[in-house]
Structures are given as C-alpha cells and as structure tokens.
Amino acid sequence: MKKIINRCKHIIKLIIYYLFIYNIPHSRFCPLFNTIRKFYICHIIKIAFPCRHSKFQNKVYIADFSNIFIGKECQINEHTFIQGARIGDYVMIAPHVTILSSMHGYDQISVPMIKQEKKKNIIPIIGNDVWIGTRAVIMPGVRVGDGCIIGAGAVVTRSTEPYGIYAGVPARKIRSRCDPPFEHPKIQALFKVIP
C-alpha cells in the first residue's frame, strides 16, 4: 500500500511540474519565476542541491526525475531536455541542450531497430565547472570532465578530458583551457571530481 501511495505522490508531482512549473515564463520577465521553479526542483522533487544562486529556466524537460541529480549553483536554460544525468557543481547549460540516458538497440540486424530492446539508464556524468553550448547533445554514458567547454551544436559521443574545449560532430578536442592542465594548485583545490 505504501508503494502505491508513493507512486501516486510521484505522479502528482510530475503532473504539477509539467502542467504548471514547466510553463512558468522565463525569469527575464520576473525573477520570482526562477524562485518558484528552483523551490519546486530543489525542495519538492529533490533532484537539485538547494542553492541561492542556481537558475532553472522554463520548459526544462527532466523526464520522470528518477535518474537526475543537479549540483549547486547550476544554470539550466530553457528548452533543455534531460533524460537522465548526474550534473556537478557550477555547470552552465545553454538553451536547447539534449542530455540522453537511453538509446535504441541496433545490434541485431535481423530485427528492425524500432523493435529491439532499448538500452536504458546509461547515465551521463557532467563534471564541475562545465559549460555546454546551445543545441549540444550529450550521449548516454558519456563523462564530461571537470572544467570542459562543449561548443554549440557539438555531439559528445565519448568521454572528455578535464579542462578541454570540444566542438563538432562528433565532438573533438580543439584545445585545453589551461596548459598544462591540473598543475595550478587553485585548480586542484577548487573542485572535487565526481566519482
């Protein structure tokens, strides 16, 4: 009985989020809108670290909340699609970014791909201090290293090195943000790496 009650509560929270919270206008019109969304995401559905400086804009798709955790002081802009992810601290996600945690099976050539079993819960991990540009796609199971910049429109199909700048389809390393990376003591002390 308790399991049924918890499932009903979860469904009600989903309905409230997608009917009301999801559709509240952008915070550029009124900062109160971000406060309402942040309160709901941090304290009601509890998928984000409660923090005064976090920003969650309108129309952010967050699946059914089950495989998502968002760290402190993150900014997630409008029309972002998060199927599942573990997102570190100080992450900026531009509008129209897609973060996937499942994909269609394609291993059996004798079975149409649409009929093959989906590969689910392959959670991508996004490190601390990451900036993901507009319309970028993060594929299932990818680990985006601390301090990375992912260029606009990039498709990240493989894990990235920390403090790299990546762009293209598929995303390739263009250069490093610091040369050589990790040698500066402030960089080493600033962030803990997400396990």
Catalytic residues: 104
Query: How many CB atoms are located within 10 Å of the residue 133 CB?
Result: 19
Edge-to-edge, what's the strand order for the sheet holding 164-167? 55-56, 75-76, 92-93, 131-132, 149-150, 164-167, 172-176
Dihedral, 65, 128, 118, 60 alpha carbons, nearest 10: 40
> Per DSSP, what are the bridge partners of residue 137?
98, 155
Query: How many CB atoms are located within 10 Å of the residue 79 CB?
Result: 16
Residue type, 87: I
CB distance 84 to 63 below 8 Å: yes
The residue among 62, 54, 68, 67 whose CA lies nearest residue 81 is 62
